[in-house]
Structure 1
Amino acid sequence: MFIQILILLLSLVILVWSADKFVFGASALARNLGISPMIIGLTIVAMGSSAPEMMIAATASLQGNPDTAIGNAIGSNITNIALVLGLTALFHPLSVSSSTIKREIPLILIITAIATYMLANSNFSFNEGLILIIGFVLYIATLLFVTLKRSKENPIDDKMVLEAEQEVPDGVSTKSSIIWLVVGIILLPLSASYLVDSSVFIAKAFGISDLVIGLTVIAIGTSLPELAASIMSIIKKEDDLALGNIIGSNIFNILAVLSLAGLIAPGDIDNAAAVRDAPFMLATTFLLFLLCFSRGGKFRITRAKGLLLLAVFFGYQVLLFSQINV
């Protein structure tokens, strides 16, 4: 058992590290090929924090464990809002001015509601997965179209877009870019495979469902990039990027991660995901929607709101583990 736990933790570290290197290599190579840093920032870099979840979802679904994939997607969204954003706001209250983020807050609520409705019958079909992945393509296309159109009319002044553009690596040789890209391509699926295998082993040994493992250990682990990115953002006093990373990651988790479970392994899912976890994800997202708007129309998340979000996260963990033996 100790060896399996060690494999899980080591695989998680390598998964997160290799995802970062994959994004670094892909972004640097794209820049060297003449692609606009703004486009790279809004696509490759933005998707980077969800790369671990995407790989876990694909691997788990291919191995016949779609509940792990679904649990990871749902758990990551709850963790991003309640734990990552809660801790971030506790360290430094967030004031947001980005129009992009203000548009995406209602959008993530709508997308989450749609996903919750899809899972409500305890079945996730291929067509539902297809709808979500098509939504992902449309979301990226619309984001690029709107941003590029505005950039032609006026200089970009949206802090979120500017900060995303600045995240693109510069001055990296094509050779180094390709090396890091290959390293990521090799280690990402390899570490994901070991992580899923060890998670399933541990879950069976302790009598925990694949769903709960995905909701807790894997979800928290794969949310570490968001936590690191948020902390670095507040250190740099980039409040927009701190919240933007979380909102963007949650949109990707539903459209690009959750969809993989339906596309690869459609069928019945753990009933708890339908009646407990997806509704809790929706409620947490709705809470974020309410908390983002203060009196006077200001877009601000205070320390008190951060504490509330943390209380929601820990309350959810208690709920999960209190029901394990039920």
Structure 2
Amino acid sequence: MALPIAAIIGGLILLTWSADRFVFGASAFARGVGVSPLVIGLTIVAFGTSSPEIVVSVLASLQGNPGLAVGNAIGSNIANIALVLGAAALVAPLAIGHGMVRRELPILLLVSFGVLLLLANGELGRLEGAALLAGLTALTAWMAFSASRAPPPGDDTPAVVRGMIETIPDTPRTGSAVAWLVLGLLFLLASSQMLVWGAVEIAAHLGVSDLIIGLTVVAIGTSLPELATSVVAAFRREAGLAIGNVVGSNLFNLLAVLAVPALIAPLAIDAEVLTRDYPVMLALTVVLFLIALGRRGQVLRWQGALLLTAFAGYLVHLGITATA
């Protein structure tokens, strides 16, 4: 038991570091060869920051643990809203911009209901995976178009896009950027394998399904970068970055983290996902949208406390109902 726990802890630490270095190297290299910050933000940064979830889900699917892959994606979305936004709102109320209410949040709701329809038959096949990636391509093109029309740092620029562009590093030497890119990718693969192995071993030892481990240990672990980013943004009174970070991450989890492993091998969807976990994720998304539509348009401290309480209650429910 000690070795799998060490593998999970070490894997999560290395996963966070390697993803950051991978994004740094790829972004710096692209910027060094003249790629615009907008394109870098919408491609390299967007996919790079979701790379831990994507790589973990792909490896889990390839190794015959689809529950871990599905639980990682859906559990991360639950953690992003209830844990990440809840904790950030306790630090400072999070104002939700009008652009977010008009565009990104309705899109997240639409995508969430659309994915539910794709999962309803108990399987996410290659055709459905291709459809999700097509949706991601269309979303990326729309964000690029919206951002290109808004004068920087225009309020009409999607908050998701602004957050991505702000993370692009200054240009280092090309050789240094390539070295970080390669090193980050290698450690990303190795740390993901450590995490998957440790999670599967712990699931077997505790007698619970790999879905439960994916929804809890793996999902919370891969959401830690979002938690750190959003809490820091709340301290700095940059609410747009905190909200945009979560909404962007949730969109990519649904459109990429679920889609990529499904393209490799069809994902079997446990009945519990459709009756327990996905409804929780959907309900939290609706609650966030309703909060945004409120008179204040803010996630207040007491609402953040309720989100954290809901997350704790969900974890307790998982612990009580967990079965192998």
Q: When the two structures are superposed, what TM-score results if normalisation uses the length of structure 2?
A: 0.94
Matched, 1:157 2:154: yes
1:183 matched to which residue of 2? 183
SS at 1:237 equivalent? coil
Q: For residues 4 and 140 of structure 2, what CA distance do their matches in structure 1 show?
A: 38
1:307 matched to which residue of 2? 305
In structure 2, the CA distance between the partners of 1:127 and 1:307, relative to structure 1 (3 Å rule), is same
1:322 matched to which residue of 2? 320
Contact 2:7 2:197 in 1 (8 A): no
SS at 1:201 equivalent? helix
Q: For residues 98 and 236 of structure 2, what CA distance do their matches in structure 1 show?
A: 16
1:167 matched to which residue of 2? 167
Q: For residues 164 and 266 of structure 1, what CA distance do their matches in structure 2 show?
A: 31
Residues matched between the structures, number:
321
Q: Please list, as runs of the form range in 1=range in 2, the aligned pairs for 1:205-216 lying within 5 A after superposition.
A: 205-216=205-216
In structure 2, the CA distance between the partners of 1:241 and 1:267, relative to structure 1 (3 Å rule), is closer
The Cα shift of 1:199 comes to: 0.9
2:119 matched to which residue of 1? 119
Contact 1:129 1:258 in 2 (8 A): yes
SS at 2:191 equivalent? helix
Instruction: Please list every run of at least 4 consecutive aligned residues from structure 1 whose deviation after the TM superposition is greater than 4 angstroms.
Output: none
Q: Which amino acid aligns with 2:290?
A: L
SS at 2:143 equivalent? helix
Q: Which amino acid aligns with 1:67?
A: G
In structure 2, the CA distance between the partners of 1:162 and 1:211, relative to structure 1 (3 Å rule), is closer
2:58 matched to which residue of 1? 58
Structure 2's unaligned 5+ residue stretches are none
Q: Please list, as runs of the form range in 1=range in 2, the aligned pairs for 1:1-326 lying within 5 A after superposition.
A: 1-97=1-97, 99-100=99-100, 102-148=102-148, 150-151=149-150, 154-158=151-155, 160=159, 161-295=161-295, 298-325=296-323
Task: Please give the per-residue CA displacement for 1:146-204, whole angstroms capped at 9, x wherever unaligned.
Answer: 222x14xx454137344542321114221111111011111111111121111111101
Q: Which amino acid aligns with 1:157?
A: G
% identity of equivalent residues:
47
Q: When the two structures are superposed, what TM-score results if normalisation uses the length of structure 1?
A: 0.93
Q: For residues 222 and 321 of structure 1, what CA distance do their matches in structure 2 show?
A: 20
Q: For residues 162 and 282 of structure 1, what CA distance do their matches in structure 2 show?
A: 25
Structure 1's unaligned 5+ residue stretches are none
The Cα shift of 1:66 comes to: 1.2
Q: Which amino acid aligns with 2:43?
A: T
Q: For residues 323 and 61 of structure 2, what CA distance do their matches in structure 1 show?
A: 25
Q: Which amino acid aligns with 2:16?
A: V
Q: For residues 230 and 101 of structure 1, what CA distance do their matches in structure 2 show?
A: 19
The Cα shift of 1:84 comes to: 0.4
Task: Please give the per-residue CA displacement for 1:125-159, whole angstroms capped at 9, x wherever unaligned.
Answer: 221111111111111112112222x14xx454137
Contact 1:84 1:226 in 2 (8 A): yes
Contact 1:32 1:174 in 2 (8 A): yes
